Amino acid sequence: MAKVTFRSPLHKDRTIEAVAGSHKQTILQLAKENHIPIDFGCQNGECGTCLVKVTSMDQSKPMGGPLNPSETQVLKEMGKITQEEIDQMLIDDLPPSPWRLACQMILRDEEVLIEYPSR
């Protein structure tokens, strides 16, 4: 069971327990299903609109699926990860930074805090 808390400056925290392990559901899909107002555009890992900050709440590193090539490229263009971090990610098989694209991050069985900007 995944436990995901969504936080933004303009909204109350919302914690949602979700079935993990489908290897399909993204953070953005979970947010949309629960009326969490995360901004999004392409939903394809290309525009960067759905940028969120992910923090593990169970004292371990954020697990989430590793970054795919599209997410990696967008985060690099946005200055959220460096080439060194990308290289390290390929060795560790772990996300290199707390910054993720909600439309690309696959939910896993973990407890995470998702911080997103609000308008």
Using CB under 6 A as the criterion, which residues of the chain lie in contact with ligand FES when the complex forms?
40-43, 45-50, 101, 103
Q: How many CA atoms lie within 13 A of 28 on its CB side?
A: 19
Q: How far is the CB of 60 from ligand FES (least distance, A)?
A: 25
- DSSP per-residue codes, 37-105: ----SSSSSSS-TTEEEEEESSSS---SPPPPHHHHHHHHHTTSS-HHHHHHHHHH-S-SSSEEETTTP
| Closest approach of ligand FES to the CB of residue 37, in Å | 13
Min dist. Cβ of residue 24 to ligand FES (A): 16
Residue with Cβ nearer ligand FES (19 or 78): 78
Closer CB to ligand FES, residue 12 or residue 24? Answer: 24
